[in-house]
Every structure is written in structure tokens, then in C-alpha cells.
């Protein structure tokens, strides 16, 4: 039975025992259940690992179907078991309910996000009702419902990519990003000074004293926005806010040390010694990724600020002895995605080669690279003022299809319509408050202005949604292909001492940030891993855009650390 299964559902029975159900996908009849088997406590991970290796040896793949990867997979990884494919029913349901609005009945069990790892007990000792994974019957039924409604090839690809992403996310948390505490501390000390016994680091205290002296106000509060603003006003600085952009425009001796103070405080509070103590354990930073956490399909993160690590700290990302960091990011991902999805050959030609913005300059749209960049970003974000807006007519003449696509998405959003990405992830419908505001538009001039402003705001969102969301799909496809390629590498002689057992001997994904991946690789396999990164990027481009001539050039750095 198990050797014929294409998919195996995992759920629990009434006694919180794990149950596996085997399925086969037969074309005319759909999904056929082949049978079930309860798994004894403590045997789950080993049993899954055995099915996975048998399938692998037979040249087949099993799709593991479960309520949520975040619930089930960490325990398997803890036990050293990696799986190749899965279906994350919660993530897939979120996509399907939005895309096919009445196709799936609302079911609270499946609609609520649930991101807690399963209790360890589920995988060893059966507790008294402590485990809360989903019932096997409910899991199997939901799987069948989703299989029935997900018929378009784009959506099926998206569901597979989203689920593969959920595996990659759990694997990256398990493997961890190699993080050198000493290197991080060195950066902190050189930027902030040594930690003092009583309170903040030396240079922060020093800078605070300079600011207060320049303001001639020994008690000025620098950390409270309203108090600081009043102190600035008393000193003759007529700033309306304390943001660094505005402060930089004022001329006063307190400004320079104040900006430096703010910069240092940011580093100290967000990524200082406290962050190190909390988030770097045993030489690894293990962030929690929230797959599909952004409506566009981008990932979010929770805890540790994984997606906001300052560039300044990149040198602290350091490979284990005998290993290397392969750090790859895509140059101008979003405009390339736009050119391809709009089938804009002129823009694709400008994108050919390394730098898209240089290409836009060559196309005669802008005089300088930075001007070109702001013009293109203006099309993606919906600039209405400044240089970007001024350049828009020329950009539209040069790249009518690309700019037309973003304009159409904006107009659809302004009308209250929904838009969708290349593979079919749909933007949320406007809320009742937005609709009501549009209804009120002719009540008064003020109502009309606010309706118009809300409509424009939504237009900017939908404009960006189609591009940001499709770029997220490209990145998922890139990562999904890459994790499979890396898993096929031969095991290395040199283990990475602190990576989870499933990854300690092969190059593996260690970090992901929208358009960047970091691979931790045995040093002698680093070049081959970098080549895999390139091949996967090319493959992702073909998967989404077929033979349309668009390339996705990568900046790849190989070295002992992720320093620039």
C-alpha cells in the first residue's frame, strides 16, 4: 500500500495518536484512499523517514499532506528527517479561498492560522489530550476539497511553491544562520563603545552629552519624541518632526551628534547585546519565518527581526570551519518581473545584462542611473510627485506594456476590483469602510476628497501587489528548486558542527530575504552550490515566464562571511 502512495496525510485520532493515510491520485476518479495506519508514539519521525527514503530509492516522490508545516515539520527535522514535498493545507486554503471565493466552505478549523510546533509528546509519549494537531478525517477531507477546486495550472504551481516554501522556512530555522558572536560584539564595540557597568555603552553616553551641551539643556530628553521636539524648539531648531530626514535639513550644532545618537540607539536597542543573548544560541541565529505572512505572498518574520538585520552586521554571518557562505541576490528583481509579466520586450532588452537601470538610461528615458531608478520605482509604487512623476511620460513611451500593466492594476484597485499575480494569488477585496467612503463621495467636497484619496491609496497598493506578488512567486520557485538541488549534493567529509542533523553534511539554505538567499556550504562545494543557485534562478524564470527572454542576473559572493 505505502509503496503505491503518491500522497500521505498525517493527522491524529481521538486519542491524539498520529495516523497516516495513503492516497493515490488516479486521473478519472480523482483521489483514492489506499488505507491508514496508526503510528506508535516515538515512531513517527522514523516511519516518515523510511517512507521518504524508500520512495527516493524507487525514483518516486511522496507528498506529505498536513494541516500546517509549522506544526508538523519541526519535530521531524529535530529527529533528522527531511522530506522533499508537502502540502500545507492552511497556507493552500488561504490562497484558494481568496482566489476562488466560494469554492471552499468556510471552516474555522482550517481558516484560523495555526503556527505552533506540535508538542513533542505527539512524537514520543502520548499525553492526556495535550496534542492539538488536526484530526486525520478532517485533514483527509480538506485535502480532497482542495484537490477538487484547485484545477488551474497556475494555482497548482502556486500551491506547490507555497508548500515548498514552508518546508524551506522550517529547514532554515532548523539549520540556522551561522552567526559569530565575537564578530558581532566587535562591531558593537567599534560603533557604540564598550558596555559600561551602569547603563548604556560609552559612545552613546558621550554623544548624548554632546547633544545636550549643544542644546544648552542638561536635562533634555533624547528618547521621547515630544520632549525632544520641545527641546529642539527651545534651542531654535524649528523642526516639525524628529525624523532624521527632516533633522538633516536644519543647521544647528546639536543635529550631527543627535543623528549619530539616534543611529547608535537604533543599533543598541534593535541588535545590541540583548539581541545577541536572546537570538544567537550556540552559534546560530534561528529566526521564525512566517510563510505567506504578507498579502502579496512575501514572507514575514516573527521574533528576532530576521528581515531587518542591518547591513552593518553582515560580517557577523560567518561560516563554520571548513565551510563557506554563498550569498546570492537578484539584481532588480521587481522591474524584471514586471517586464516579463507584461511581455514588454523593450524593457526586457533594457534589463538584458547586469544592470537594468543602466539599460533604462541607454534607452534614453533618463539621464543618470539614479534618475532611471526613481522613474522605475515610481512606476512600481505609484509616485505622483517629484522626479519620478515627471519622468513617467517618457518611461511610458519607452515601455508602454510594462507601464500599462502597472497603470491597469492601479485603476482596477481604484475601482475597488481585485487584482492577481502571475500564478493567481489575489489581492484582498476592499473593506466595508472603503466601500462606504466611496459611496459617500458626492455628499460633500470633503467626502469626495477623502474618497478620492482612499481610492488612490488602494490603487497604489494593487499597482504594487501584482509586481511584488509575482516577484515573491519567482523567489519561491527559485528557493524551491534550489533546496532540491542542494539536497542532491554528496555528503561532505566536514560536518557543520551546529546545523541540524538533516543539514550538517550538505550545502543548505540558511537565510532568505525577498530576493536574496544565503547558502551554508562545505568549502569545497561552495562553487558548485553557487552554480546551483544560478541554475535555479534560470529555472524559476522559465517556470513563470516560459521562453520570454528575460534574465535574472545574480550577485553572488562566496567567502568565510557575508560581508560585502
Partner DNA sequence: CGGCGCGGCGCG
Partner DNA sequence: AAAGCGCGCCGCGCCG
Q: Does residue 368 interact with DNA by CB under 7 A? A: no
Q: Is 147 or 371 the residue whose CB approaches DNA more closely?
A: 371
Quote the least distance from Cβ 427 to DNA, whole Å.
9
Rounded Cα distance between 237 and 468, Å, is 40
Which stretch, 198-206, 222-230, 484-492, 537-545, contacts DNA (CB under 7 A)?
222-230
Which stretch, 116-124, 179-187, 487-495, 514-522, contacts DNA (CB under 7 A)?
514-522
Which stretch, 56-64, 134-142, 302-310, 416-424, contacts DNA (CB under 7 A)?
302-310
**Are the beta carbons of 530 and 210 closer than 8 angstroms?**
no
Q: Does residue 4 interact with DNA by CB under 7 A? A: no
Quote the least distance from Cβ 475 to DNA, whole Å.
10
Q: Does residue 296 interact with DNA by CB under 7 A? A: yes
Which stretch, 82-90, 118-126, 199-207, 511-519, contacts DNA (CB under 7 A)?
511-519
Q: Is 292 or 541 the residue whose CB approaches DNA more closely?
A: 292
| Total number of residues that touch DNA (CB under 7 A) | 61
Rounded Cα distance between 438 and 453, Å, is 10
Q: Does residue 310 interact with DNA by CB under 7 A? A: yes
Residue from 151, 270, 436, 443 in contact with DNA (CB under 7 A): 270
Q: Is 242 or 525 the residue whose CB approaches DNA more closely?
A: 242
Residue from 181, 195, 440, 514 in contact with DNA (CB under 7 A): 514
**Are the beta carbons of 172 and 48 closer than 8 angstroms?**
no
Q: Does residue 224 interact with DNA by CB under 7 A? A: yes
- Spatial CA neighbour of 290 closest among 309, 305, 272: 305
* CA distances from residue 283 to 35, 184, 412, 484 in whole angstroms, order as listed: 44, 11, 49, 26
Residue from 153, 186, 241, 453 in contact with DNA (CB under 7 A): 241
Residue from 152, 308, 368, 453 in contact with DNA (CB under 7 A): 308
The cell for 504 is 550538517
Residue from 15, 30, 42, 303 in contact with DNA (CB under 7 A): 303
Q: Is 20 or 402 the residue whose CB approaches DNA more closely?
A: 402
Handedness of CA 82, 84, 88, 89 (dihedral sign): negative
Q: Does residue 132 interact with DNA by CB under 7 A? A: no
Which stretch, 183-191, 199-207, 208-216, 243-251, contacts DNA (CB under 7 A)?
243-251
Rounded Cα distance between 346 and 221, Å, is 55
Q: Kind of pairing, strands 63-66 and 7-12?
A: parallel
Quote the least distance from Cβ 70 to DNA, whole Å.
14
The residues pairing with 10 across neighbouring beta strands, listed in sequence order, are 20
Rounded Cα distance between 272 and 261, Å, is 14
- What is the CA 276 to chain-centroid distance, rounded? 22
Quote the least distance from Cβ 500 to DNA, whole Å.
22
Q: Is 263 or 452 the residue whose CB approaches DNA more closely?
A: 263
Which stretch, 124-132, 381-389, 496-504, 529-537, contacts DNA (CB under 7 A)?
381-389
- Spatial CA neighbour of 505 closest among 519, 522, 485, 488: 522
- Spatial CA neighbour of 32 closest among 68, 50, 7, 12: 7
Q: Does residue 100 interact with DNA by CB under 7 A? A: no
The residues pairing with 436 across neighbouring beta strands, listed in sequence order, are none
Q: Coil, helix or strand for 82?
A: coil
Q: Is 151 or 248 the residue whose CB approaches DNA more closely?
A: 248
Q: Given the C-alpha cell 507528498, which residue does it identify?
A: 63
Residue from 163, 383, 406, 492 in contact with DNA (CB under 7 A): 383
Rounded Cα distance between 393 and 470, Å, is 25
Rounded Cα distance between 245 and 69, Å, is 42
284-285, strands of its sheet edge to edge: 177-178, 284-285, 280-281
Residue from 53, 186, 196, 221 in contact with DNA (CB under 7 A): 221
Residue from 31, 46, 149, 513 in contact with DNA (CB under 7 A): 513
Quote the least distance from Cβ 446 to DNA, whole Å.
20
Residue from 266, 397, 449, 542 in contact with DNA (CB under 7 A): 266
The cell for 469 is 506578488
Q: Given the C-alpha cell 537578484, which residue does it identify?
A: 330
Rounded Cα distance between 304 and 275, Å, is 7
Q: Is 111 or 457 the residue whose CB approaches DNA more closely?
A: 457
Q: Does residue 295 interact with DNA by CB under 7 A? A: yes
Quote the least distance from Cβ 375 to DNA, whole Å.
9
The cell for 477 is 520557485
Rounded Cα distance between 203 and 274, Å, is 17
Which helix (H) or strand (E) segment holds residue 342: the answer is none
**Are the beta carbons of 290 and 462 closer than 8 angstroms?**
no
* C-alpha radius of gyration, the chain, whole number: 26
Residue from 183, 305, 322, 559 in contact with DNA (CB under 7 A): 305
Q: Does residue 168 interact with DNA by CB under 7 A? A: no
418-477 binders of DNA (CB under 7 A)? 457, 460-461, 464-465, 468
Rounded Cα distance between 341 and 435, Å, is 30
Task: Name the site residues for DNA (rule: CB under 7 A).
Answer: 221, 223-227, 229, 241-246, 248-249, 262-263, 266, 269-270, 275, 290, 293-296, 298, 300-305, 307-312, 329, 374, 377-378, 381-388, 457, 460-461, 464-465, 468, 513-516
Amino acid at each position: 500500500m505505502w509503496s503505491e502512495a503518491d500522497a500521505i496525510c498525517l493527522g491524529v485520532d481521538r486519542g491524539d495518536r498520529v495516523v497516516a493515510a495513503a492516497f493515490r491520485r488516479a486521473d478519472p476518479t480523482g483521489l483514492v484512499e489506499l488505507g491508514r495506519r496508526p503510528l506508535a508514539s516515538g515512531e513517527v519521525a522514523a516511519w516518515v523517514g523510511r517512507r521518504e527514503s524508500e520512495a527516493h530509492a524507487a525514483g518516486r516522490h511522496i507528498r506529505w499532506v498536513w494541516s500546517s508545516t509549522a506544526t508538523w515539520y519541526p519535530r521531524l527535522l529535530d529527529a533528522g528527517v527531511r522530506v522533499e514535498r508537502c502540502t500545507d493545507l492552511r497556507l493552500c486554503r488561504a490562497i484558494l479561498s481568496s482566489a476562488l471565493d466560494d469554492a471552499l466552505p468556510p471552516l474555522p478549523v482550517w481558516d484560523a492560522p495555526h503556527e505552533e510546533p506540535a508538542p513533542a509528546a505527539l512524537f514520543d509519549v502520548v499525553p492526556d489530550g495535550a496534542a492539538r494537531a488536526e484530526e486525520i478525517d478532517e485533514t483527509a477531507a480538506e485535502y480532497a476539497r482542495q484537490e477538487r477546486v484547485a484545477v488551474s495550472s497556475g494555482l497548482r504551481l502556486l500551491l506547490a511553491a507555497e508548500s515548498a516554501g514552508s518546508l524551506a522556512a522550517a529547514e532554515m530555522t532548523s539549520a540556522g544562520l551561522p552567526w559569530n558572536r565575537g564578530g558581532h560584539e566587535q562591531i558593537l564595540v567599534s560603533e557604540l563603545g564598550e558596555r559600561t557597568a551602569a547603563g548604556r555603552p560609552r559612545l552613546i553616553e558621550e554623544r548624548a552629552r554632546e547633544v545636550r551641551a549643544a542644546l544648552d539643556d542638561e536635562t533634555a530628553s533624547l528618547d521621547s519624541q515630544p520632549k525632544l521636539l520641545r527641546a529642539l524648539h527651545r534651542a531654535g531648531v524649528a523642526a516639525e518632526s524628529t525624523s532624521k530626514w527632516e533633522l538633516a535639513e536644519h543647521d544647528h550644532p546639536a543635529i550631527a551628534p543627535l543623528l549619530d545618537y539616534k543611529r547608535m540607539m537604533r543599533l543598541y536597542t534593535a541588535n545590541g547585546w540583548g539581541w545577541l543573548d536572546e537570538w544567537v544560541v550556540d552559534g546560530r541565529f534561528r529566526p521564525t519565518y512566517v510563510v505567506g505572512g504578507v498579502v502579496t505572498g512575501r514572507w514575514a518574520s516573527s521574533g528576532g527581526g530576521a528581515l531587518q538585520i542591518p547591513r552593518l552586521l553582515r560580517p557577523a554571518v560567518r561560516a563554520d570551519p571548513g565551510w563557506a557562505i554563498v550569498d546570492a541576490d537578484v539584481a532588480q528583481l521587481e522591474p524584471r518581473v514586471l517586464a516579463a509579466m507584461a511581455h514588454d520586450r523593450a524593457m526586457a532588452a533594457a534589463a538584458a545584462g547586469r544592470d537594468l537601470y543602466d539599460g533604462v538610461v541607454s534607452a534614453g528615458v533618463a539621464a543618470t542611473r539614479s534618475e532611471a531608478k526613481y522613474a522605475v520605482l515610481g512606476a512600481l509604487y505609484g509616485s505622483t510627485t517629484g522626479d519620478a512623476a515627471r519622468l513617467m511620460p517618457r518611461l511610458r513611451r519607452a515601455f508602454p506594456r510594462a507601464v500599462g500593466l502597472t497603470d491597469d492594476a492601479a485603476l482596477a484597485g481604484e475601482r475597488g476590483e481585485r487584482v492577481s499575480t502571475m500564478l493567481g494569488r489575489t489581492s484582498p477585496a476592499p473593506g466595508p469602510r472603503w466601500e462606504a467612503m466611496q459611496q459617500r463621495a458626492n455628499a460633500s467636497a470633503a467626502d469626495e476628497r477623502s474618497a478620492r484619496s482612499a481610492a488612490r491609496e488602494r490603487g497604489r497598493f494593487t499597482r504594487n501587489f501584482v509586481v511584488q506578488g509575482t516577484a515573491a512567486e519567482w523567489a519561491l520557485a527559485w528557493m524551491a528548486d534550489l533546496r532540491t538541488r542542494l539536497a542532491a549534493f554528496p555528503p561532505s567529509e566536514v560536518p557543520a558542527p551546529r546545523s541540524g542533523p538533516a543539514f550538517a553534511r550538505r550545502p543548505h539554505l540558511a537565510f532568505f530575504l525577498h530576493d536574496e538567499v544565503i547558502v551554508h556550504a562545505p568549502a569545497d562545494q561552495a562553487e558548485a552550490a553557487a552554480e546551483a543557485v544560478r541554475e535555479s534562478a534560470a529555472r524559476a524564470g522559465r517556470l513563470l515566464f516560459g521562453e520570454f527572454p528575460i534574465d535574472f542576473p545574480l550577485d553572488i559572493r562566496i567567502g568565510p562571511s557575508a560581508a560585502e
